[in-house]
Amino acid sequence: FKEIFKRKYSLFMKKLLVTSIFCFSSLFTVAQSGYEITINLKNAPDTLAYLTYYQFDKTLIKDTCTNIENGKIVFKGKGKLDKGIYSLVSQAKSIYFDFFIDDNTQKLELKTEASPNIGKELTALNSPLENDFFSYVQYINQQNKDFQTYKQTVKLVTKKDTLALNSRQKEIEKSINDFEEKFIADHKGTYIADVMNLKSEKLLKDIPKASNGRPDSIQVYNYYRKHYWDNVDFKDDGVIRNPFFNTKIKRYFESVVVMHPDSISVEIDRIMNKTKPGSLTYKLLLAHFTYTYETTKIMGFDKVFVHMSDNYFKTGKANGIYDDEDVVQKIIKRADKLKPLLIGATAQDLFMIRAEDFPKMKAMGFEDAKNSEEMTNVYYKNVDQVSKMYVKLSDVKADYTVLLFWDVDCGHCQKEIPVLLEQYNELLKEKKDIKVFSVYMQHEGDKYLKYIDEHKLPWINVYDGAHYNNAVEKYDVYSTPVTYILDKNKVIKAKRIDANQLKTIINAIEYESKKGK
């Protein structure tokens, strides 16, 4: 499913990627039906060039010029270009420079030289606003160059040297921030001001002191979070064609929002409510959030993926997002499978057979059944006896139950089981009330019993001898080993952990439990 989803997601983003090396440069004016961009690139070595644009985390090709004469590059089309940041990309697919397009900038003429100093030489012949922006780019480049020059002259031998370098860096950062604030204010109402607004950081300037006399970091954080999206219009699709947007979104959900699935879900809804349903921004953000939290490696954050399914896909709010509508149903099906397995859910019961009862099950004919019909006949023929042999997960009495799914022949399992056994024994020495409900996922009973005996596994060693449980589907065991940690009420507290994490997680659960009392 992940590969299907990933492939459809890539198709949705439109197809062709080019190298995204950000050099940021240029703006233009004049609105016409159709577009015409003329670039006189003196000394250009290329015979063709690309017009590309940013879209969320991708750079896509919009147009190609295959007839470059004396460095003259022309991109021309009948339809209007969508508002966004565009780039002139060389034949070797490296960016010469960037520029912006909005409703009033469809006809442009630029000139420059294809040299290392292209930022200094780049000039717009029909857009004063663009030249203002070039001045900004030149200023930023000069500030960075000055800092690098200064950095090379400083020998970081003493603490004083380091403090001096840090102080110089802060000075430059403040200078750039002040310059950007003035640029945004002077060009308020223009698309390029919106772009720069998304780039700029909203920081609290006059930081008050906390009770300990130090800068109040809580107020700094609260201000930053409250003003993070100031003046960002999510209803304008131009925001999604901004090279700063993807970084801004990622930083918000990775560093600004409280890292808890419920908090993440609330913020996703808040962001989605700012967009226009059915717009490009809406579609790309919905696809991004869904894919991000379906494939997340952070334990417990699959709850966000389930939230996306319940609130957007099941309600029809995701209709039309994917070319293949089957993807929507696959997402719903996947989320429904994960819902009973979320952190905080009560573990689904299992009816297993002890490993030592394998000979009895074999004698009944369970291992000889060739198809589901024969298996059903064997089961009902022996149902009374089998029912007395069941070992139920819900009957395990312990403060902590480790629910382990594994296979004797699994290479990774062979490495993990000894580690898990070692951690289990150490927890017993610490007087922890813990048991392992060890589920063998195959039916080669002799091999299973031999492994148990050779490795002296003192656990509740079981397998699905009556073919009753379908643990693969019930517990999403698409590979082995898979480990869940349950509390005394069989509530899932952790899942899909590595064996060497067992002690740490058990201790963390105990700490949180004591803290909550």
Q: Please give the full DSSP string across 145-187, using - where no structure is assigned.
A: HHHHHHHHH--TTSHHHHHHHHHHHHHHHHHHHHHHHHHHHHT
- Residue 288 inside a domain? The answer is yes
Residues 252 and 330 in one domain: yes
Tally of domains within the chain: 3
Rounded-to-integer distance, Cα 451 and Cα 437, Å: 16
- Residue 222 inside a domain? The answer is no
Residues 499 and 362 in one domain: yes
- Residue 240 inside a domain? The answer is yes
pTM for this model (two decimals): 0.84
Rounded-to-integer distance, Cα 201 and Cα 225, Å: 11
- Domain boundary pick from 341, 361, 395: 341
**What CATH number should be reported for the domain holding residue 44?**
2.60.40
Closest among 97, 56, 119, 34 to 291, alpha carbons compared: 56
The first and second tokens of residue 226, run together, are: 């409250």
Block residue for tokens 């940041």: 85
Rounded-to-integer distance, Cα 464 and Cα 239, Å: 54
- Domain boundary pick from 138, 154, 176: 138
Closest among 275, 151, 357 to 288, alpha carbons compared: 275
The answer to whether 446 touches 358, Cβ cutoff 8 Å, is yes
Residues 331 and 357 in one domain: no
Residues 372 and 490 in one domain: yes
- Residue 81 inside a domain? The answer is yes
The first and second tokens of residue 362, run together, are: 């074999």
**Residue-level pLDDT, tens digit, the chain, 517 residues:** 444 444 443 443 333 333 332 333 333 333 347 899 999 888 888 889 999 999 999 999 999 999 888 889 999 999 999 999 999 998 888 888 889 888 878 888 988 876 656 656 788 888 888 888 888 888 888 888 888 888 888 777 788 878 888 888 888 888 888 888 899 999 999 999 999 999 888 888 888 888 888 888 999 999 999 999 999 999 999 999 999 999 999 999 999 999 999 999 999 999 999 999 999 999 999 999 999 999 999 999 999 999 999 999 999 999 888 877 889 999 999 999 999 999 999 999 999 999 999 999 999 999 888 888 999 999 999 999 999 999 999 999 999 999 999 999 999 999 999 999 999 999 999 999 999 999 999 999 999 999 999 999 999 999 999 999 999 999 999 999 999 999 999 999 999 999 999 999 999 998 887 776 5
pLDDT score for 516 = 64
The first and second tokens of residue 483, run together, are: 């480990």
Strands (DSSP E) contained in 362-491 are 390-392, 400-406, 434-440, 460-463, 482-487
- Residue 375 inside a domain? The answer is yes
- Residue 37 inside a domain? The answer is yes
Residues 298 and 245 in one domain: yes
Residues 368 and 280 in one domain: no
Residues 361 and 500 in one domain: yes
Residues 337 and 464 in one domain: no
As a residue count, the chain comes to 517
Residues 358 and 335 in one domain: no
Residues 39 and 124 in one domain: yes
- Residue 237 inside a domain? The answer is yes
Report CA torsion sign: 176, 181, 186, 190.
positive
**What CATH number should be reported for the domain holding residue 387?**
3.40.30.10
Rounded-to-integer distance, Cα 383 and Cα 376, Å: 10
Closest among 389, 309, 302 to 338, alpha carbons compared: 302
Residue 65 structural domain = 16-138
Residues 417 and 442 in one domain: yes
Residues 286 and 363 in one domain: no
- Domain boundary pick from 80, 111, 138: 138
E strand or H helix at 120, and its extent?
Answer: helix 118-121
Block residue for tokens 């596994």: 457
- Residue 32 inside a domain? The answer is yes
